[in-house]
Amino acid sequence: MTRVPVVRCSALTRTYTNGATRVHALDNVDLVIERGEFVSLAGPSGSGKSTLLNVIGGLDRPSSGRVEIDGVDLAALDAGALADLRRDRIGFVFQAYNLIPVLSARENVAFILELQGVRAAERHRRADAALASLGIAELADRRPGELSGGQQQRVAVARAIVTDPVLLLADEPSANLDSQTTAGLLALLRHINEAHGVTIVTATHDPAVIAFAARRLGLRDGRIVSDERA
């Protein structure tokens, strides 16, 4: 049986109009990411790495080309089906964490399960298990304002993995974290990647995150200019 890649991008282009100027944020990108890979997207500001991450995650539509996630062509999905795919198959870790301030850590993690229609007892059990797997079970009842930046980041990661996604996308995951907290976060991501087989793609400026990835893609002017493996 042929193995289906988790991510397949074909002739991917994303063009923006800035006044009279057309900017190619992505320029004819071809990319295949296999199940279980840990990939970093690196490059200077404006290189296209965040745009590529957003297009892979279905947060942005390409101007042309094709994106498949786990064999599903995103262009074939309407807005509702695309939202369902993001909810069920892709985990996101955003730079700003995007935790809901009035909810506890447990409730933040369980919220996506509520959207899936999971019953309360089961979603709380799964949320607690996700928090425990990241070493923060004792913080389940605290709200984001009562947590440090590193603790909030762990809650955000727990939320991203609680649905058992096939793909985890992290946009500048180490931003605003000190070196010790960054090292802890990277260890968590490696554990998720190795123990659970989750494919991870990060967009980052951070040399520590780039070096940590097993596969490192360099972008410039919307194109992949290097593809290295550790």
208 vs 172: CA distance, rounded Å = 11
Q: Over the stretch 141-177, which tens digit does the pLDDT of each residue have?
A: 999 999 988 888 889 989 998 998 999 999 888 877 7
Look at residues 6, 12, 46 and name the one whose alpha carbon lies nearest to residue 28.
12
User: Is residue 2 included in any domain, yes or no?
Assistant: no
Give me the number of domains the chain comprises.
Answer: 1
50 vs 170: CA distance, rounded Å = 10
Structure pTM? 0.89
Q: Is 206 in a helix, a strand, or coil?
A: coil
Q: Over the stretch 203-225, which tens digit does the pLDDT of each residue have?
A: 998 898 899 899 999 999 999 99
213 vs 42: CA distance, rounded Å = 11
pLDDT at 1 over 80: no
Look at residues 25, 183, 167 and name the one whose alpha carbon lies nearest to residue 92.
167
Q: What is the DSSP letter of 2?
A: P
Range of the domain at 220: 7-229
**Percentage above 90 pLDDT, the chain:** 67
Q: Over the stretch 33-66, which tens digit does the pLDDT of each residue have?
A: 999 999 999 998 889 999 999 999 999 999 999 9
Amino acid letter, 50: S
User: Is residue 1 included in any domain, yes or no?
Assistant: no
At 2 the pLDDT is: 58
User: Is residue 160 included in any domain, yes or no?
Assistant: yes
At 218 the pLDDT is: 96
At 179 the pLDDT is: 81
* CATH code of the domain covering residue 118: 3.40.50.300
Mean pLDDT over all residues of the chain? 91
Q: Over the stretch 110-127, which tens digit does the pLDDT of each residue have?
A: 999 999 999 999 999 999
189 vs 191: CA distance, rounded Å = 5
At 23 the pLDDT is: 83
Q: Over the stretch 86-119, which tens digit does the pLDDT of each residue have?
A: 999 999 988 778 899 999 999 999 999 999 999 9
